[in-house]
Amino acid sequence: MIFQYPAFLWALLVLAIPIVIHLFNFRKTIRIYFSNTRFLKQIDQETTQQRKVKQYLVLAARLLFLLFLVLAFAQPFLPASEDVTATNQVTIYLDNSLSMASPIDGKIRAIDDAVERVQQLLNSFPPDTRYQIITNDFAAFGNSLKTKVEVEDFLAQIRLSGLNRSAADILRRHTGRSPLFWISDFQASTFGAVPKFDSAKQIRLVPIKLVATNNVFVDSIRLENPFMIGGEKNSLHAQLRNVGTKSVDGLVVKLSINGKQVSASTINIEPQSSAEVVFDLSGSQGGQNRCVITFSDFPIGFDNEFYFTLNYSSKLRVLEIKQTPDKTFVGKVFANEALFDFSSFEVRNVNYSLLPQADLVVVNAIDQINGALANALAGLRETNTMLFVSGSKPDVVSYQRALGMPLQNLAEAKEMMPLAPPDWQHPLFQNVVEEKSPSLAMPAGKKLIDWGTDQSALLKLKDGRPFLSQMGNVFLLASPLEKGYTDFYQHALFVPFMYRLAASGKKDSEKLYHTLSSSLLVVKADSLVGEEPIKLVGNQELVPSQRKVNREVMLELPKFSLAPGFYAVVHRADTLSWLSINADKAESFLRCFTPNELTQQWSMGTNVRVVDTDNATAFGDQVRSNYLGKPLWRYCLFLALLFLLAEVLLLRFLK
């Protein structure tokens, strides 16, 4: 037993006072004479003996009262079984990821219980202890040691963060030799493998036990037609996952676009499985659209909304290189100025500077490709989408130089041969026609050039020979789009195919959504003037780190400041586009490591311990017992009061 304030033990000298009073009775003795004292002597002997027993008991009670009172002020305690405060510094990692919004026993949130445990630590350690507190934001506040008051102010402002950190991230953040109290739900999906670390580090794992509950979240979304073109109908497929142990029946899922609900559906999801809900998108949408999928999944609510954007605003840039100045069927297809930025050049007068910026380059029915054009097209094969339409008298040598593939001329067939139906599941043909029967009328064509067999050709003749093939970003058509060679340009397949082909090469296409785990965003910005930076405007206004490269601006996401939602990309007064930010779906998998699993995973030594307690109060008691020693002053005070009561009872009732 050790005393925290041993100087108070000098007060034990007061124990001499009751003893002195007991030994020296200063009351004056009065002698009384009687004629016969035989009977009185007998009575006097009996009462004196009883009085001495009472005095000894009262003396013992007084001495014990004073003894334990002095000991209470000296504050005795049993020595700590573990010493973690030798450096007078303590590091605390407080997990404030979104999963910490989940409930625990007592119907409070895990983050609230974690904050209370931090408060218990602050109340347990000596007043001169300094603290380093780390959260998922890795904010600058955690870079230096703080006092108890500063940490308490920080705890009052703590909020959930969309970021999650692995075990390796946290251990890298913990520097120095101070003991680390790791307060977390130890979520399995984000924890990662236990890395190697300095064996001298003292680590205390403090698990927060979440209540087992169902959770439904949006696992992924996709468009049935991935090429977003204004005016085309489309469908949105949303995959919802249930990671709980009970089935979810009758879940109402809603789709809102620009703040207005446009559709709703009801689905059932079995435990540990997923289900798909489909929403139809009308062809009337255009411009920039902010979309939200919502549902009610109590009590886990941080992933009940999923944000994404549908941006139809930018035009598709199509460039045609042709043999003659006459208007072609390609020019007629892309004549819609609301959708396309179309430019057409004769082969003798090509603006080569526009080629790299084009979403689709159409080399239309040129018999011979000159050397300069062939070299320019060869440099675009890896980066740009190109459609080569054979000329009526193709020079395959010049074609080979541009395409980088072997070709040969074919003798012109006397008649056109019908084409076989395409693969209707291919994105370029998906949902183009409603009736997909084998008897569907297909276009016909003559094959003028040959490039061998191609079992995966987009369009084939009835005899199986390829008519339209894709090699990487290059599409090759075996005949001119002219009367007498093919009627493909008159068929219902032609317009949607050409539209989707142009959309497939869209160079500034934007993702439907981003997550907080994304680090870099690329925004198209053709006409930025001045040095004023781009801002992200949502719930708050942020100026991210950015760098302009050609016509694009690369933005570094300020993860620690962002919350899920929509953010306008603003330059001066202009909104360039909208970004949708969602939490990382790994947060929605709520299975956590148990204390036993943590013990096995960390291969526990004396430097790593699991502090397994049910609530914050029990945690504080265990901290004070294991790491600061067990205080005994309460017991001393209780015993002092007990012996004081005993003295009162002896004086009152013992005759």
306 within some domain: no
Interatomic CA distance for residues 226 and 427, integer angstroms:
7
Helix (H) or strand (E) holding 204: strand 203-207
CATH code, domain carrying 359 = 3.40.50.880
Interatomic CA distance for residues 613 and 208, integer angstroms:
9
Contacts of 558 (CB under 8 A, 6+ apart): 542, 544, 545
Same domain, 369 and 415: yes
According to DSSP, residue 79 is labeled: P
* Residue of 324, 463, 338, 449 lying closest to 388 (CA atoms): 449
CA torsion 628-632-634-639 (nearest 10°) is 180
Same domain, 492 and 595: no
Same domain, 146 and 174: yes
Domain boundary, last residue among 444, 472, 504: 504
Give the pairing of strands 89-94 and 130-134. Answer: parallel
Same domain, 570 and 622: no
259 within some domain: no
Same domain, 122 and 181: yes
Helix (H, G, I), strand (E, B) or coil at 533: coil
Same domain, 611 and 522: no
**pTM (2 d.p.):** 0.70
Single-letter code of the amino acid located at 106: G
522 within some domain: yes
Give per-residue burial for 349-385: e unless 16+ CB within 10 Å, then b: ebeeeebeebbbbbbbbbebbeeebbebbeebbeebb
Q: What pLDDT, on the 0 to 100 scale, is given for residue 134?
A: 92
Output the six-digit token pair for 549.
Answer: 């490269």
The answer to whether the Cα torsion of 61, 66, 68, 72 is positive or negative is positive
Domain region containing 641: 2-79+633-653
Q: What pLDDT, on the 0 to 100 scale, is given for residue 38?
A: 57
Give one DSSP letter per residue of 284-347, joined into a string: T--SEEEEEEE---SS--TTSEEEEEEE--SPEEEEEEESSSS--HHHHHT--TTTEEEEEEET
Same domain, 359 and 400: yes
Same domain, 387 and 495: yes
255 within some domain: no
Domain boundary, last residue among 473, 504, 535: 504
Cα atoms in the 13 Å half-sphere on the side-chain side of 457? 23
Same domain, 106 and 55: no
Q: Residues 22, 54: contact at Cβ < 8 Å?
A: no
* Number of domain units in the chain: 4
Helix (H) or strand (E) holding 403: helix 396-403
The residue written with tokens 């033990």 in the block is 9
572 within some domain: yes
Domain boundary, last residue among 504, 531, 551: 504
Q: Residues 478, 466: contact at Cβ < 8 Å?
A: yes
Interatomic CA distance for residues 11 and 379, integer angstroms:
95
Q: What pLDDT, on the 0 to 100 scale, is given for residue 404?
A: 85
Same domain, 575 and 605: no
Q: Residues 223, 269: contact at Cβ < 8 Å?
A: no
Output the six-digit token pair for 357.
Answer: 């910026």
Length of the chain: 655
Q: What pLDDT, on the 0 to 100 scale, is given for residue 308?
A: 93
Same domain, 354 and 486: yes
The answer to whether the Cα torsion of 392, 396, 397, 400 is positive or negative is positive
Phi, psi at 260, each rounded to 5°: -120, 130
Contacts of 229 (CB under 8 A, 6+ apart): 312, 316, 339, 499, 500, 503
- Within a 10 A sphere around the Cβ of 228, how many other Cβ atoms? 19
* Residue of 437, 483, 472, 478 lying closest to 460 (CA atoms): 478
Output the six-digit token pair for 328.
Answer: 């072609």
Q: Which residues of the chain have pLDDT under 50?
A: none
End-to-end CA distance of the chain: 39
CATH code, domain carrying 183 = 3.40.50.410
236 within some domain: no
303 within some domain: no
Give one DSSP letter per residue of 576-629, joined into a string: EEEEEEE--GGGG---B--HHHHHHHHT--TTEEE---SSHHHHHHHHHHHTS-
Same domain, 342 and 481: yes
300 within some domain: no
